[in-house]
């Protein structure tokens, strides 16, 4: 358990909450590992790198989104994702897996490849990247597909990304720091989309299983599972109406966003 409240708001956001997780310091909403007075805050990932360890960030959002960003970048506003992208590479993060291709221009990818990164863009390429020493995988222009809609894409699952990250990072004899985020549990909460939230929670659980399986074999790895903040007031049952009928949700096969994207402009279908 940890406290991740914002220093300037009753309701925290991912930037302030993530900064509290990554640095131990409370900051204003929207600030990325930067104190309210503008001072850059050292993160746990940067401390691990200083000790000679490898590091990785995995997310189903853009890899430049607030929670992954707080571990390896410093900006005054979380919306500056184009400024966050080069910092992730400058900070020497060895594995970056997620969405956000739009924030990594060809020049930045070329520079990364010159510095020893293998670059992959889909599930098959990721599967074949186990020999890489440094890895960058960008699987969508923006955020990745929700788990409910992933079979419409060639994107890897969170568990597959976690496993690939571990395959690369475990080569470092000094150890490693890896942060894996099931980012879209949060987005589903914002949208009040219960089936999306459940399916992405299940995908996160499968990723946790990969991490715990590795830790049991390794015998020298700590796995921490925590949330940075609650979103959207999602609850099971309540309001005096008795039990929730969760079986209904199991039959939902797409997110509300996906269904909405299939509607005609005039909603005639």
Residue 4 pLDDT exceeds 70: yes
Q: Per-residue DSSP letters for 80-124?
A: -HHHHHHHHHHTT-SEEEEE-GGGS-HHHHHHHHHTTEEEE-SHH
For 152, residues 6+ apart whose C-beta sits below 8 A from its C-beta are 145, 258
Average pLDDT of the residues in 225-234: 83
- pLDDT, residue 45, reads 98
pLDDT digits (tens, 9 = 90+) for 23-76: 999 999 999 999 999 999 999 999 999 999 999 999 999 999 999 999 999 999
The kind and range of the H/E element at 186 are helix 184-190
Could you say which architecture CATH assigns to the domain 42-261? 3-Layer(aba) Sandwich (3.40)
- pLDDT, residue 239, reads 56
Among 8, 42, 12, CA closest to 227: 12
Between 2 and 46, residue with greater pLDDT: 46
Among 109, 184, 112, 110, CA closest to 149: 184
Residue 125 CB neighbours (<10 A):
15
- pLDDT, residue 250, reads 86
- pLDDT, residue 241, reads 59
- pLDDT, residue 247, reads 82
3-state DSSP helix/strand/coil % of the chain, to nearest 5: 40, 10, 45
Dihedral sign, Cα of residue 90, residue 92, residue 93, residue 96: positive
Residue 236 pLDDT exceeds 80: no
Please, what is the end-to-end C-alpha distance for the chain in angstroms? 47
Average pLDDT of the residues in 219-244: 78
Backbone angles phi, psi at 153, to 5 degrees: -130, 175
- Of 91-105, 178-192, 233-247, 252-266, the range with the lowest mean pLDDT is 233-247
For 7, residues 6+ apart whose C-beta sits below 8 A from its C-beta are 16, 26, 27, 28, 36
- pLDDT, residue 1, reads 85
Residue 130 pLDDT exceeds 90: no
Pull the structure tokens for residue 249. Answer: 């949700």
**Is 97 within 8 Å of 207 (Cβ atoms)?**
no
Residue boundaries of the structural domains of the chain: 42-261
- pLDDT, residue 235, reads 66
Residue 240 pLDDT exceeds 60: no
Between 173 and 249, residue with greater pLDDT: 173
The distance between the two most distant Cα atoms of the chain, rounded to a whole number of Å, is: 60
Among 46, 151, 33, CA closest to 83: 33
Catalytic residue (choose from 6, 14, 55, 61): 14
**Is 41 within 8 Å of 74 (Cβ atoms)?**
yes
Pull the structure tokens for residue 66. Answer: 């607030």
For 235, residues 6+ apart whose C-beta sits below 8 A from its C-beta are none
- pLDDT, residue 215, reads 98
Is 14 among the residues known to form the active site? yes
pTM flag (> 0.85) = yes
Residue 244 pLDDT exceeds 90: no
Residue 233 pLDDT exceeds 90: no
Between 247 and 209, residue with greater pLDDT: 209
Q: Give the confidence band of 127 by pLDDT, cuts at 50, 70, 90.
A: very high
Average pLDDT of the residues in 155-175: 98
Average pLDDT of the residues in 111-123: 98
């Amino acid at each position: 358990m940890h406290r991740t409240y914002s220093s300037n708001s009753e309701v925290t956001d991912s930037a302030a909450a993530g900064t509290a997780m990554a640095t131990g310091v409370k900051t204003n909403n929207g600030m990325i590992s930067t104190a309210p007075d503008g001072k850059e805050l050292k993160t746990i990932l940067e401390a691990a790198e200083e000790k000679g360890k490898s590091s990785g960030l995995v997310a189903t959002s853009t890899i430049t989104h607030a929670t992954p960003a707080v571990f390896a970048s410093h900006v005054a506003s979380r919306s500056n994702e184009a400024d966050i992208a080069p910092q992730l590479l400058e900070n020497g993060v060895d594995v970056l897996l997620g969405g956000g291709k739009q924030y990594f221009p060809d020049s930045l990818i070329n520079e990364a490849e010159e510095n020893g990164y293998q670059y992959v863009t889909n599930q098959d390429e990721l599967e074949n990247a186990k020999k890489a020493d440094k890895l960058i995988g960008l699987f969508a222009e923006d955020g990745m597909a929700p788990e409910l809609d992933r079979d419409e894409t060639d994107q890897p699952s969170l568990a597959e990304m976690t496993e690939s990250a571990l395959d690369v990072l475990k080569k470092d004899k000094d150890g490693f720091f890896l942060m894996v985020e099931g980012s879209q549990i949060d987005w589903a909460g914002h949208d009040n989309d219960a089936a999306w939230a459940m399916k992405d929670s299940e995908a996160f659980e499968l990723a946790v299983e990969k991490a715990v399986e590795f830790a049991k074999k390794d015998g020298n790895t700590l796995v921490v599972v925590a949330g940075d903040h609650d979103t959207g007031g999602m609850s099971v049952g309540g309001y005096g109406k008795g039990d929730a009928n969760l079986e209904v949700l199991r039959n939902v096969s797409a997110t509300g966003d996906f269904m909405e994207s299939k509607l005609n402009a005039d909603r005639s279908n």
